[in-house]
Amino acid sequence: MSIVIALAAACLLGTGVALQHQQAATMSDESSVRPGLLIALIQRPLWLLGMGCDIAGFGLQAVALERGSLVVVEPVIATSLVFSLLVLGAMTHVRFSARELGSAVVVVGGLALFLLSASPTSSSHASASLRGWVTCAVIVWGAVAVAAVWATGRPARTRGIALAVCAGLAAGFLAVSSKAFGDRLGDGVLSTLGSWQPYVLIASGIATTLLLQSAYQADEPTLTFPLIEITAPLTAATIGISLFDESIALNGWRSVVVVFAVALMIGGIVNLGRDSMITGGPQYEPE
């Protein structure tokens, strides 16, 4: 059930990405990584629609994470780029090429192979020591801060790469925060509101949104889309394994198959991220 819910979340998130990128890419370079970028974007109906899809998708992702583990749910969420392609095709009546369909099949096939061969932990509880949480937050957000500051004022291509990695790291941490919040809700609403989880989730959500829009604003989708979709699940899964004792099977032949499955997913995502339908390139020709 967590996989089904995660697929629905990926569909909504993929739709939201397509709409938000279209709007953020029209903003000036000076607005990158600044609160003014969000203030300007909330005045645009299409961006708000994309954000609505994102919020709904994130809600479903949280439900999936409450039911399942990070190492299961996050690779499924990575298929959101496939859904971006499907939604764009449906909206614009563009015919899919063999390359597009092949890339989508490779991503889904790699995901299925990973889930079958890695035997990932099906469920987990976001329980860790305070020292573990603090160490995790310092590493992730420290890396984000350094890279974001370094990216400021750089050429669009360089800035886009750096901010996409930042956004992926932030989105991965946000997924972990969401799982921690969902698990804490089991103790009751009042108890949850008196804990740190909801406030870390809110702060992480705001920071992640700003970083995502700043990465989209660089208007380098062939780089930013794949990097975000790859970095986010890898970050979340790494935290799940190191902090919550989640695991994947890497004994014997499984290690080779898992590496191959991950490589298939990454290759398919990168190929989809370079597709003209996603990027709005010169070969993008609606019927």
- pTM above 0.85? no
pLDDT at 160: 85
pLDDT at 185: 79
Residue 88 CA neighbour count, 13 Å, CB half:
27
Q: What is the pLDDT of residues 32-72, one digit of tens each?
A: 667 777 788 888 888 889 889 988 998 898 888 888 888 88
Measure the CA–CA gap between 68 and 3, rounded to whole angstroms: 8
Q: Is pLDDT above 80 for 234?
A: yes
The percent of residues in the chain predicted with pLDDT above 70, rounded, is 84
Of 172 and 97, the structure prediction assigns the larger pLDDT to 172
Of 248 and 204, the structure prediction assigns the larger pLDDT to 204
Q: Whose structure tokens read 């949850």?
A: 192
pLDDT band at 174 (very low <50, low <70, confident <90, very high): very high
pLDDT at 203: 93
Structure tokens at 139: 């590493």
pLDDT at 72: 81
pLDDT at 237: 84
Measure the CA–CA gap between 26 and 116, rounded to whole angstroms: 42
Q: Is pLDDT above 80 for 140?
A: yes
Q: Is pLDDT above 90 for 144?
A: yes
User: What's the one-letter identity of residue 88?
Assistant: L
Q: What is the pLDDT of residues 72-123, one digit of tens each?
A: 888 888 888 777 777 666 666 666 677 777 777 788 788 778 877 777 766 6
pLDDT at 287: 45
Of 142 and 224, the structure prediction assigns the larger pLDDT to 142
Measure the CA–CA gap between 96 and 110, rounded to whole angstroms: 20
The maximal CA–CA distance of the chain, rounded, in angstroms, is: 56
265-284: average pLDDT? 64
Structure tokens at 104: 């989508």
Of 286 and 235, the structure prediction assigns the larger pLDDT to 235
137-155: average pLDDT? 91
